[in-house]
Amino acid sequence: MFPQKTTHGKQIDAHVHKPCVNGKPGGFSSALAYHRFREIEICCNRQPTCFLPEQKNAHHKFFLLLEDNIKTEITWEFSSYREHCQVIGQHLIFVESGIRHSLKWEKAASFICLLLHDELFTQMTHDSTWRGIQIRECNELEKGDLLIWYLAYILQKIIKSELSDEPTIFIEAICIILANQLFKKTQTDKQPLLVSTGLSSEQLRIVRSYIHDHLCETVLVPHLAEIIDMSKDHFTRLFKNTMGVTPHRYILLKRLQLAQSLIVEGKMRLSEIALAVGFCDQSHLSRNFRKFCAELSKQGDDGQILG
């Protein structure tokens, strides 16, 4: 490995490896070659068998697994909602910024990791196709994918061999071309092997804050979608992926949760509590409580509403 210059003229020791925090290099158990440019970063190395603990990047991440015998498991979460998936060699993993995730490498494997800053990501994506977690297949024999593998091969050569004296602007250009080619896969590609998307932490904060502040009023799902600039259907899908329940169900549970707290306090009449948490009347509150308790009984739950 060797030290490299950034576009800012600072030197980075390619042997240094740290936990991945706020999009900085790392999260890997061995030394890696790392280059940071104005809008894109690249990590490249051979990763031994290991488990990489949970991390959250400030930038959008592409993982390109370069060998066909790789076995990797990725686990991720959107708020309280967790998933995992096994990934094999010559697959592409995309992780949107801010998503907490971990990686388990079952076999030693070579990889290239691109970290795209928001400005470059926005320039390259003209719609919301690349969101959340995605896993796509890269076939060496397909025309578009052949260029991806060729660019990846060049980057490996530059980083690992005597080509290390190439100017950093050349490396940056190849990284940007590779990233652009990866985005182009959505235009001609078949359906991805897996897509798991959710609301960003900021979007979720805005929606949950609005619901909390307006529980005693009528809260409409189309309006929730509007305040974060989404269509109703798209918002509903992402909200359920993030929270595990639909927006309507979440609002209902939050009202029941608040009602439960007010009943325990014992300072208000049941009819007053019903209106304070957004139900039409005491009867409306009672019906929903009975229905919810019946559901808990069937599921064997402990009675706790939304934690």
Look at residues 173, 196, 219 and tell me which one is the last residue of a structural domain: 196
Which residues form the domain of 143? 4-196
**Six token digits for residue 101:** 């995730």
d(C-alpha 228, C-alpha 237), whole Å: 14
Q: Is the residue at 14 inside a domain?
A: yes
**What is the pLDDT at residue 178?**
92
Same domain membership, residue 221 and residue 190: no
**Residue 126 contacts by C-beta under 8 Å, 6 or more apart in sequence?**
none
d(C-alpha 174, C-alpha 126), whole Å: 21
Q: Is the residue at 76 inside a domain?
A: yes
Q: Is the residue at 29 inside a domain?
A: yes
Cα 192–Cα 196–Cα 202 angle in degrees, nearest 5: 135
Residue environment code for 279-294, b if the CB has 16+ CB neighbours within 10 A, otherwise e = beeeeebeebbeebee
**What is the pLDDT at residue 13?**
33
Same domain membership, residue 77 and residue 23: yes
**Among residues of the chain, what percentage have pLDDT more than 90?**
20
**Six token digits for residue 102:** 């971990």
Q: What pLDDT tens digit does each residue of the chain (307 aa) get? A: 223 333 333 333 333 333 333 334 445 544 567 888 889 998 888 888 888 887 878 899 998 888 777 778 888 776 556 777 888 777 888 888 888 888 888 888 888 899 999 889 988 886 666 778 888 877 655 556 788 888 888 888 887 665 556 678 888 899 999 998 888 876 666 666 666 667 777 788 899 999 999 998 999 999 999 998 888 887 888 888 778 789 999 999 999 989 988 988 889 999 999 999 999 998 998 898 888 888 766 655 544 444 4
Same domain membership, residue 208 and residue 145: no
Look at residues 179, 196, 213 and tell me which one is the last residue of a structural domain: 196
pLDDT tens sequence across 294-305 = 876 665 554 444
Same domain membership, residue 162 and residue 205: no
d(C-alpha 256, C-alpha 215), whole Å: 10
Same domain membership, residue 226 and residue 134: no
CA 307 to chain centre: 23
Look at residues 196, 219, 241 and tell me which one is the last residue of a structural domain: 196
Same domain membership, residue 121 and residue 21: yes
Which residue is it, tokens 């690992």?
160
In contact, 54 and 102? CB cutoff 8 Å: yes
Residue 105's CATH number: 2.60.120.10
Tell me the pTM. 0.60
Residue 225's CATH number: 1.10.10.60
**What is the pLDDT at residue 92?**
85
- Going by the DSSP 8-state scheme, the letter that residue 48 receives in this structure is P
Same domain membership, residue 59 and residue 111: yes
Query: How many domains is the chain partitioned into structurally?
Result: 2
